Amino acid sequence: MSSLEDAFEEACRQRNIPGAVLLASDRHGKFRYEKVFGSRSVKSPESNEPLEIDGMMWFASCTKLLTCISVLQCVERGVLTLDNDVTDVLPELKGIEILTGFDEETGKPITKKATRRITLRHLLTHSSGMSYDLFDLTLQKWRASQGQKVGEGKTVASKFSCPLLYEPGTAWGYSPSIDWAGKMVERVNDNVSLQEYMKTHVWGPLGIKDMIFHLRERPDLVKRLVDLSERDPSGNGKVRYADDPGFRDDVDDALGGGGVFANAPEYLKVLQSILADDGKLLKSESVEKLFEPHLTKESQQALMKLLEDEQLNNQFGGLPLGTAKDWSLGGLLIQEDLPGWRRHNTLTWGGLPNLTWFIDREVGLCGLYASQVIPPGDPKSIEMSGMFERAMYEKCKGVAPRI
């Protein structure tokens, strides 16, 4: 491990990255790796406060796995179904139309009625027709035509009410659909907030204490918040302090697609529980759904086409270009073996500030690379994360393969 740790120490010393928490475990906890490198902040040249393992981070889209688990718990209890029309629970989406373009003379949006219903399976697999306006120029133009700003709003409905871009189930687009799925969890559980639901049904069973949506409610956790850093645009390869608006806890809803703050060991508890299939969160048949492909042929082909773009592929974890992929009910699903690395049906995803998690049931290994660096898909962060993962696969060879 010394070469791995030397590489991380040097990267932090050179400020190629500010710091990182590296965690990995087998399904039984017999193998466990925990290392922390770098600083909590690079706000000033004199910043030397070390990053601690319990440092609080914005986990961004890592939240999606927690919401997917919550949804599957509701499916187990029979209060939600995967393939019914979601508008029974989300009436806001009734009559939602598909944006096809803009009038050349007036600039007004041109829409058509959707002919297919949106299902919960579509929401969980990002094949509903929705997209993030933050990343989509067409939706940004639509927002402007409505006199709205991109990303504004303090609730799921105000932030993410946009027209569809395609018929549900016919293409693929990364989207706020899991934020809407989180609202479904709330509504079929007597309108309890998603934060309170997770406290009882996800965090509680695993003894998780330091995980929260509304960070302002826990001043003790605010004190441990790790600062966000950004890659210096001058091209010098260094990171610098970033004051990014997306990092602030300024919304009213618990955003199931990206609102959680946590520390790395707390999040690893979730990964290990799913890897061990210990029954604390989900029944075994629900765990299986997390490791099965759920896209239609059209949607899977659209996903693969999107990931031919190297920059976008980096934002999706930096896997070798052309790696076969699908989407499960919990994240990106690798559909082939990667030598010395992830195996077929490894489940993975991450969060915007270059966090990456994975669960490999064939090898019996899960892990988390936790950092707070923007932009997403930062090449240096991808390099360091891949180095960490490969070292873990080498270290745990034969420890706890799937039986």
Residues marked active site are found at 61
What gap in Å lies between CA 288 and CA 215, rounded to an integer? 33
Helix (H) or strand (E) holding 179: helix 177-187
What gap in Å lies between CA 185 and CA 73, rounded to an integer? 9
User: Quick one: CA torsion of 169, 170, 176, 181, rounded to 10 degrees?
Assistant: 0
Backbone phi and psi for residue 258, each to the nearest 5 degrees, phi listed first: 180, 25
**Maximum distance among all Cα pairs of the chain, rounded to whole angstroms:** 66
Q: Which two tokens stand for residue 62?
A: 């890592």
CA distances (Å), origin 273, targets 186, 296, 376: 23, 29, 27
How far apart, in Å, do the first and last CA atoms of the chain sit? 27
What gap in Å lies between CA 244 and CA 188, rounded to an integer? 34
For residue 305, the SS3 value is: helix
Q: For strand 325-327 and strand 260-262, is the pairing parallel, antiparallel, or unpaired?
A: unpaired
Task: Tell me which amino acid residue 24 is.
Answer: A
Backbone phi and psi for residue 34, each to the nearest 5 degrees, phi listed first: -140, 120
For residue 359, the SS3 value is: strand
For residue 140, the SS3 value is: helix
Contact between 306 and 172 under an 8 Å Cβ cutoff? The reply is: yes
What gap in Å lies between CA 176 and CA 255, rounded to an integer? 9
CA distances (Å), origin 226, targets 51, 237, 268: 8, 21, 18
34: which DSSP letter?
E
Query: Which positions ≥6 away from 28 have C-beta within 8 Å?
Result: 276, 400
Task: Tell me which amino acid residue 210 is.
Answer: D
What gap in Å lies between CA 278 and CA 284, rounded to an integer? 8
